[in-house]
């Protein structure tokens, strides 16, 4: 989907919950706050949650209407987030950051690789990279998420994307998540990759 299509979705109604994804909260909840970038932040649920936990966050998305919802929610909740309307394929932060988060950003392989490499290159030494998304296997085995296989990937794809960069993987796997569809419990499959830029690199 392009920026106009996402904008139309966000203009029509809220798209996501106001609370963070469970994997994101579990992976990041214990980190000491610093500077963070939420790439493809949408309505900013993770950026706002991080800001509430003391992070100085920049939320980037090409859908202005999504970020506008985020800005209003941040004001209501009394937290400060920097909102930037930009294409994450070409955007990069001015300074290295302590955390880059990518949650449910689904791009074709060439763009994905570029974003993943930029994300790792944007980390300060000791900084954390966290990616959570729909796993490539979710189309055949799971439920929900994009049904276009060209925009889905595995943990191995993400590790291959950042090969050769200073990156120490801490977690790279497929994770099952229970969802209720029409009153019936189903399983969705997510990909999670977390790693660090080694200190001193």
Q: Are 115 and 157 in contact (CB under 8 A)?
A: no
Q: Which of 28, 36, 37, 40 binds ligand SAM (CB under 6 A)?
A: 40
Binding range to ligand SAM, per CB under 6 A, among 48-56, 60-68, 155-163, 169-177: 60-68
Of 66 and 93, which has the nearer Cβ to ligand SAM?
66
Is position 89 an interface residue for ligand SAM (rule: CB under 6 A)? yes
With b meaning 16 or more CB within 10 Å and e meaning fewer, what string describes 63-98?
bebbbbbbbebbeeeebebebbbeebeebebeeebb
Is position 63 an interface residue for ligand SAM (rule: CB under 6 A)? yes
Is position 83 an interface residue for ligand SAM (rule: CB under 6 A)? no
Is position 41 an interface residue for ligand SAM (rule: CB under 6 A)? yes
Q: DSSP letters along 65-116, please?
A: HHHHHHHHHHHHHT---EEEE--TTT---SS-EEEEEEES----HHHHHHHH
Give me the half-sphere count of Cα atoms (radius 13 Å) on the Cβ side of residue 92.
14
Of 87 and 121, which has the nearer Cβ to ligand SAM?
87
Residues in the chain: 201
Q: What's the rounded Cα separation, in Å, for the pair 77 and 28? A: 20
Q: What's the rounded Cα separation, in Å, for the pair 147 and 136? A: 9
Q: Which of 62, 83, 129, 189 binds ligand SAM (CB under 6 A)?
A: 62
Number of residues that bind ligand SAM (CB under 6 A): 16
Q: Which of 45, 69, 113, 194 binds ligand SAM (CB under 6 A)?
A: 45
By Cβ distance, which residue is nearest to ligand SAM? 42
Q: Which of 23, 66, 74, 122 binds ligand SAM (CB under 6 A)?
A: 66
How many Å is the maximal CA-CA distance in the chain? Answer: 51
List of residues contacting ligand SAM (CB under 6 A)? 6, 16, 40-42, 45, 61-63, 66, 87-89, 103-105
């Amino acid at each position: 989907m392009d920026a106009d299509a996402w904008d139309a979705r966000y203009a029509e109604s809220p798209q996501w919950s106001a609370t963070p994804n469970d994997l994101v909260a579990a992976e990041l909840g214990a980190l000491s706050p610093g500077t963070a970038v939420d790439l493809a932040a949408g309505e900013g649920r993770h950026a706002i949650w991080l800001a509430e936990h003391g992070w100085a966050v920049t939320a980037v998305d090409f859908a202005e209407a999504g970020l506008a919802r985020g800005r209003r929610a941040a004001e209501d909740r009394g937290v400060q987030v920097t909102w930037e309307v930009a294409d994450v394929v070409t955007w990069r932060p001015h300074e290295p950051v302590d955390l880059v988060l990518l949650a449910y950003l689904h791009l074709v392989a060439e763009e994905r690789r570029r974003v993943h490499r930029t994300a790792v290159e944007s980390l300060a030494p000791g900084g954390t990279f966290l990616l959570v998304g729909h796993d490539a296997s979710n189309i055949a085995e799971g439920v929900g998420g994009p049904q276009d296989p060209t925009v889905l990937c595995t943990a191995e794809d993400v590790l291959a994307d950042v090969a050769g960069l200073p990156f120490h993987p801490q977690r790279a796997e497929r994770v099952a998540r229970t969802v209720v569809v029409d009153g019936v419990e189903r399983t969705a499959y997510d990909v999670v990759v977390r790693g660090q830029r080694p200190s001193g690199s």
